[in-house]
Structure 1
Amino acid sequence: MLRFLSRELHSWRLMHATSNRLVRPTDRVETLVLLTLWVSALAGLLIALTVGGNTYATHKATADVQGPRHSVSATVTTPPKQDDDPTIVVWRRPDGARVTAAVDAERTDRTGRVRIIWLDDQQRVADPPRTATDAVVEGVMAGLGVMMLTVLGWWGLVLLVRAAADRHRMRRWEAEWRDLDIDSHR
């Protein structure tokens, strides 16, 4: 890690921006490309913040407009036969009437298992209520996902640019050593 960091700090010498003839054109191009990658990484950070904020706002708005819901304990009567089949559950309303409904299956559904399901005002099965905490978590996860893609892309491109520049420098160095080689084997 420290070796990578020292290489990065070394690459940002101001010498590359001067007219020093000891700095090769490859070094100047490498510095320009790496500087462009740093600026694009900052742009990626801003995009990640925007995506996270928009995701949060969307999910928060959904949580704010959803209708009231309440939970009920229901007993599984028919577990799913296949993965995409619903589970059949039964529960009793406050007036004592028995209600049967199909709900999304869970892996642990077995006959007789008690599950918590959510009902809306018309006593229909509904999704669990969304909370502000859910909106925050989803916004942060969306932002972190974009940020991770940015970081991995930046890191890969930096390594690629470094490898290409190092390979070019090594070829040039070998050629210069061959030009300076004096027949010293006599």
Structure 2
Amino acid sequence: MLRFLARELHMWRLMHASSNGLVRTTDRVESLVLATVSLAALVGLMIALTVGADTYASHKEQVDAQESRHSVSTTVVDIPVPTTDAPPHVVVEWKGADGGKSTAQIPRDRFDRIGRERVVWLDDEGEVVDPPLTTANAVVEAFLAGLAIIVITVLGWCGLTAFVRSLADRRRYRQWDLEWRELDIDSHR
């Protein structure tokens, strides 16, 4: 790990930008490409922050705009045999605000059995709806969206850096081999 870090820190040396005759064209091109890739990675991180903030804002709007909902404790009264054309569900029953009994079908949970208590969410008309979104949902979605962009950016940076390094190293090794051969030939004359 330290070897990789030392090599990456070497990338930032300014000698490749100088007029030093010992610095090869390959080294200069490699430094320029790696600096460009690193700048693009910084832009990617800024994009990740923007995507995370936009995701949070849009989810927060959904949280604020959703209709009022309230939870009701229900009891599972029937577990129909699942058919191939309908998803598995259970029938639940609860006492309504007017004192009468209401029933509804909800998706089946693997722990469902007759008599089990389940919590369902109802809208103002008494219809079963999805649980309300919370601010925590918005934060988690924003974090995951930003994290996904960061992971893609980091993997792209690492991949491109390794690719550019391997191309430059291959070219350098070829040049060194040629120069050693020329030196070897000249020394036997």
| TM-score normalised according to structure 1 size | 0.90
- Structure 1 residue 91: Cα displacement: 2.0
Instruction: Output the amino acid matched with 2:82.
Output: K
Alignment CA distance shift 1:152-1:107 (3 Å): farther
Hey, what's the Cα distance between the residues in 1 that align with 2:54 and 2:81? 37
- Structure 1 residue 89: Cα displacement: 2.6
Match of 2:87 in 1: 85
- Structure 1 residue 79: Cα displacement: 5.7
Match of 1:160 in 2: 163
* Count of equivalent residues: 185
Matches within 5 A, 1:54-133: 54-76=54-76, 77-78=78-79, 81=82, 85-92=87-94, 93-133=96-136
Query: Alpha-carbon deviations, 1:103-125, whole Å to 9, x = none?
Result: 23434334443221111111111
Instruction: Answer yes or no: is the 8 Å Cα contact 1:88–1:100 preserved in 2.
Output: no
Hey, what's the Cα distance between the residues in 2 that align with 1:117 and 1:95? 18
How many percent of aligned residue pairs carry the same amino acid? 58
- Structure 1 residue 182: Cα displacement: 4.1
Match of 1:24 in 2: 24
Match of 1:36 in 2: 36
Instruction: Output the amino acid matched with 1:140.
Output: F
Segment drifting more, 34-43 vs 91-100:
91-100
| TM-score normalised according to structure 2 size | 0.89
Q: CA RMSD in A?
A: 2.1
Match of 1:146 in 2: 149
- Structure 1 residue 96: Cα displacement: 3.2
Hey, what's the Cα distance between the residues in 2 that align with 1:57 and 1:156? 32
Hey, what's the Cα distance between the residues in 2 that align with 1:120 and 1:80? 28
Query: Alpha-carbon deviations, 1:40-68, whole Å to 9, x = none?
Result: 00110111011000100000000001111
Instruction: Output the amino acid matched with 1:20.
Output: N
Query: Alpha-carbon deviations, 1:142-168, whole Å to 9, x = none?
Result: 111111111111111111111111111
Instruction: Output the amino acid matched with 1:61.
Output: E
Hey, what's the Cα distance between the residues in 2 that align with 1:114 and 1:168? 70
Give the secondary-structure state (helix, strand or coil) at the position aligned to 1:181.
helix
